[in-house]
């Protein structure tokens, strides 16, 4: 359990610094199980900051989304830093962005939170349907203590955590300036069980499964917008000349979009699961991401978002890369 007072103090101290523009963190949402990102521009703003297992969003998108309007004559660029509150997985996204030189390490102040697992919003909504006003969720060893409208319930963590937390290898942020609380060591190991099981199916069965999934897609691009690593100024699907992927929603274009999205995250996806969380049609996008993650670990012994000094996977090579598929 994270000490919220410690978090608030850390945020307050960070915003008070002269070289920090603002800090992004979580605050209580307006209803139900929601939490929303919030910004602290002044030291007083730090009072609304919280951290609970309901804080699922990955905030590392925010330093990337920072708008930089053209400067007026005589105006100087705002070189101040941005503070971000990150969990273990989110910090890997920041490392990955720094590795790709999308972001300067000096431009962010990272407030790390050792995370013991968050709650999957879809799972908890299924458990407590209907309109709920008051909610409190606490973290207790291997249980979540959920208080809904005055009634307290203890639920085993295994029931509520998303798949990514089940195999999380980095609960403590990889990179941080300030750490709230103590470091946690993970005893979990990524075993890619789902991927391995699926691989054993025949090509026909695989396609039947994915055809159904891709057919559901409404191409809202929520997966792209929520992804901390999809930060291209212009995405390839928005391009009109040449227009690689048409805008019509049908199986062909949906498949192309989903395959290309997965490919563009090859060696970059850090497995925060934002795409799947944001998907309104419940397409298991993480399965594609995990498959690629597993393959690059096998083929190139590479893991994304761990080492900011390394070169990006597809921008480097080794002379003895696997080439058994080449004629």
Residues that bind another protein (CB under 8 A): 195, 198-199, 203-211, 214, 236, 244, 246, 250-253, 255-256, 259-260, 262-263, 266-267, 288, 291-292, 295-296, 299-300, 313-315, 317, 319, 321-323, 325-327
Looking at beta carbons only, is 4 or 208 nearer to another protein?
208
Smallest gap from residue 50 Cβ to another protein (A): 39
Please measure the distance between the N-terminal and C-terminal CA atoms of the chain and give it in whole angstroms: 55
Helix (H) / strand (E) element for 117: namely: none
Look up residue 29 and give its two tokens.
């949402």
Least separation in angstroms between CB 228 and another protein: 20
Of 46 and 96, CB closest to another protein: 96
DSSP string of 137-157, one letter each residue? EEEETTEEEEEETTEEEEEEH
Q: Which of residues 208 and 282 has its CB atom nearest to another protein in the complex?
A: 208
- Rounded to an integer, what distance in angstroms lies between the CA atom of residue 23 and that of residue 320? 45
| Phi and psi, residue 303, nearest 5° | -130, 130
Q: Are 171 and 183 in contact (CB under 8 A)?
A: no
Task: Give whichever of 179 and 314 is closer to another protein, judged by the CB atom.
Answer: 314
Residue 75 makes CB contacts below 8 A (sequence gap 6+) with none
User: CB of residue 111 vs another protein: minimum separation in angstroms?
Assistant: 34
The residue (of 119 and 269) whose beta carbon lies closer to another protein is 269
Please give the structure tokens belonging to residue 128: 């407590």
At its nearest, how many Å lie between another protein and the CB of residue 66? 28
Q: Which of 257, 275, 255 is closest to 207 using CA atoms?
A: 255
- Compute the least distance from the CB of residue 70 to another protein, in Å: 31
């Amino acid at each position: 359990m994270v000490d919220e007072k410690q978090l608030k103090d850390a945020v307050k101290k960070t915003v008070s610094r002269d070289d920090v523009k603002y800090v992004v963190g979580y605050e209580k949402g307006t209803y139900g199980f929601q939490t929303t990102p919030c910004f602290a521009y002044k030291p007083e703003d730090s009072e609304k900051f919280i951290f609970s297992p309901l804080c699922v969003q990955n905030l590392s998108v925010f330093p990337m989304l920072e708008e930089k309007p053209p400067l007026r004559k005589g105006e100087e660029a705002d070189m101040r830093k941005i503070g971000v509150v990150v969990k273990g997985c989110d910090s890997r996204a920041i490392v990955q962005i720094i590795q790709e030189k999308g972001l300067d390490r000096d431009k962010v102040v990272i407030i790390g939170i050792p995370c013991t697992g968050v709650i999957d919003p879809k799972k908890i909504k299924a458990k407590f349907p209907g309109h709920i006003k008051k909610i409190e969720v606490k973290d207790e060893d291997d249980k979540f203590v959920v208080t809904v409208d005055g009634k307290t319930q203890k639920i085993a963590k295994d029931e509520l955590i998303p798949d990514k937390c089940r195999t999380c290898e980095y609960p403590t942020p990889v990179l941080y300036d300030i750490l709230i609380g103590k470091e946690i060591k993970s005893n979990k190991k990524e075993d890619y069980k789902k991927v391995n099981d699926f691989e054993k199916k025949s090509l026909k069965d695989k396609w039947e499964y994915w055809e159904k999934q891709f057919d559901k897609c409404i191409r809202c691009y929520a997966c792209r917008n929520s992804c901390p690593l999809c930060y291209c100024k212009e995405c390839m699907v928005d391009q009109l000349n040449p227009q690689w992927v048409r805008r019509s929603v049908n199986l062909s274009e949906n498949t192309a979009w989903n395959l290309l999205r997965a490919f563009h995250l090859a060696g970059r996806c850090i497995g925060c699961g934002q795409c799947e969380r944001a998907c309104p049609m419940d397409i298991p996008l993480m399965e594609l991401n995990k498959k690629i993650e597993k393959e690059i670990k096998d083929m190139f012994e590479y893991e994304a978002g761990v080492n900011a000094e390394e070169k990006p996977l597809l921008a480097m090579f080794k002379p003895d890369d696997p080439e058994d598929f080449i004629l």
